[in-house]
Each structure stands twice: as structure tokens, then as C-alpha cells.
Homo-oligomer: A and B are copies of this chain.
Amino acid sequence: MAGYALCGSFRATPGEADGLAALLLEAAEALREAEGCLLWLVNRAADDPDAVWVMEVWSDEAAHGASLGLPSVRAIIDRARPLIAGPGERFELQPVGGHGLPSTDT
């Protein structure tokens, strides 16, 4: 399959992980109809209360890049900035196949 996936985390400022997760859920909503956005899932880490993870799958890297310029997304990024102490992990992936996404199940 074609596609572009990201699995990455943010480190929340202490005590702000709940607020950061809530903002990322707003981002997920803003991206629900974004072109090429197949999966955008917010997660907490099982063993790290300050880490908030996002699993993303896109039709291609350009679609991901374009999403970062959407006004709705930029507004959320601005609101999230004070809640982020720094970047966490970031793994850039090339989906090969599997199941669970509409595009892999057809």
C-alpha cells in the first residue's frame, strides 16, 4: 500500500498532559475530513504520565505536510505550545499493509 505513517510523542509540561491530550483530540476532530488523513489516534503512554502519543496514517507525506498549514490545526498548535515541554519520540514509517483501515480492507 502507498502511504505515510507517523508514530510520535510530545512531552507535556508537568501536570498538563490531560490538557494536551484534550487539545490533540480537537486536532483529531479538525483532521477528520482532511484530505488523505486515514488515521489520527491520540494515546497516553502506559508508563509515562507526561507523554502523549499520536499514531497517524496518511495517504502520502504531502497530505500530512498540507495538514500542518490548515488554519484550524495551526490554531490548535498555538494553544498547545505552552503545554509542551519538548518533543518526545518520532518514528516516520512507510505502511506496507495490514488491516483496520478502510484503505487496507478493500
Contact = CB atoms under 8 A, between A and B. Distances in A.
Interface string A12-38: 000000000100110011011000011
Interface stretch (A39-47, A65-73, A75-83): A39-47
Contacts of A47: 92
Q: From DSSP, what is the main secondary structure of chain A's interface residues?
A: strand
A39 to B, nearest CB: 3
A77 to B, nearest CB: 17
Number of copies of this chain that the complex holds: 2
Interface of A: 5, 7, 9, 21, 24-25, 28-29, 31-32, 37-47, 53-55, 57, 89, 91-101, 104
A38 B99 CA distance: 8
